[in-house]
Amino acid sequence: MASTLPPSRGTKRLGEPLVGNNRIKSLYKPELVSIFVRIDTGRKKGRKAVKEDVEYQVPRGLIRGMSEYFDKAFDDTFVEGKTGKIVLDDVKPWVFECFIGWMYTQKVFWEHEDGSTEQGKTKDQPTVGRQTTNGHNNTVTNEALLDPVAWQWADLFELYIFADKHDTRRLRNKVIELVQIKTFLLKPTRYLRPSELDNATVYNSLPDSSGLSKFMVDLHVYSTVPPRSDAEYDGTLPSRMLYRLMSQATQLARCFLCANCKSGQPCDCPSHRDIKSTKAPYVGNLCAYHEHETEEEKKLCIQSWVQLRIERDLSV
């Protein structure tokens, strides 16, 4: 009969198992750390705004294993690591609550502490206006807050920006997956594309190399319908984004004229160095914007999109 005991270490000390960057033993007897989210109360004391801290407690091993940022912050070599306390000044409570929920379940959702999901109960929550291509704001049930695809673009982008700033790769992948589903969803609701203000938020908050930035550029170049008049443009987009859009659009035009690209032959023409196909990069390859550490992880992601296209009735 096979032994039920763990293998002997022998005389040679073996490396201990890891969860993220951390030894799994830190999860056996969880030590709680406190994260204080500092919010503006809207009140003033004299001329100074009054702020207060909302405290959240999570196991040290869990948050360190999920986020490179918090892994470093709660290392014992830093004050935060020694005290087990850290203050976040620029995070909304609902965003951090989504992060906590995701750490435990690997799913993005949000709900009130009392278990309800009633929209409008508090200002600090994601919103679900559901502006669709038919021009109407559909009525939304309370349960819609549990489906982040129904959230406003600004809320999804804010969650991605949090994940980027706090170096949480897997949460970035999860949020961009939701953005992609919302973009290409056909039923039961088709959503309008992000506004220029939403796009500006992405480009002003994220590096050009981020998956979300790349996806939004490609979406603009390949499938966004331009305004009927130049007068409709309100000047919201940052110059850096406009330059990238111009560069991509110019290269795409050159690609359309390239004999090699049209015939599917190899092409090294410098006039369209970044674009070698007239097909949008996301068609059949939504995984291209995700961050995967191994080929196996990438393979599983590609397989999951096959199922998602069927379950969600996506247009790509």
Q: Can you give the pLDDT at residue 6?
A: 45
DSSP state of 224: P
Q: Can you give the pLDDT at residue 129?
A: 56
Token digits for 280?
């949008």
Q: What is the pTM of this model?
A: 0.85
Residue type, 211: G
Residues (pLDDT < 70) of the chain are: 1-24, 112-123, 129-145
Contact 144, 155 (CB under 8 A): no
C-alpha to C-alpha distance for 88 and 97, rounded to whole angstroms: 13
C-alpha to C-alpha distance for 246 and 252, rounded to whole angstroms: 10
Q: Measuring CA to CA, how many Å separate 122 from each of 39, 91, 125, 158, 267?
A: 14, 16, 7, 18, 55
Contact 312, 189 (CB under 8 A): no
Q: Give 199-213 pLDDT, tens digit per residue.
A: 999 999 999 999 999
Q: Give 277-295 pLDDT, tens digit per residue.
A: 889 999 988 999 999 999 9
Q: Can you give the pLDDT at residue 229?
A: 76
Where helices occur in the chain by DSSP H, the ranges are 60-66, 68-73, 79-83, 93-105, 153-165, 169-184, 196-205, 211-223, 239-257, 259-263, 295-312
List all residues 6 or more positions away from 138 whose beta carbon is below 8 Å from its beta carbon: 130, 132, 189
C-alpha to C-alpha distance for 178 and 172, rounded to whole angstroms: 10
Q: Can you give the pLDDT at residue 227?
A: 74
According to DSSP, the β-strands at 22-23 and 48-59 are: unpaired
DSSP state of 142: G
C-alpha to C-alpha distance for 190 and 199, rounded to whole angstroms: 19
Contact 175, 76 (CB under 8 A): no
Token digits for 245?
């859009």
Q: Which of 160, 92, 164 is nearest to 126 (CA)?
A: 92
Residue with tokens 């490396």: 15
Mutual angle of helices 196-205 and 211-223, in 10-degree steps: 150
Q: Can you give the pLDDT at residue 120?
A: 47
Contact 195, 153 (CB under 8 A): yes
C-alpha to C-alpha distance for 248 and 293, rounded to whole angstroms: 27
Contact 20, 66 (CB under 8 A): yes
Q: Can you give the pLDDT at residue 222?
A: 92
Mutual angle of helices 196-205 and 239-257, in 10-degree steps: 100
Strand partners, 39: 52
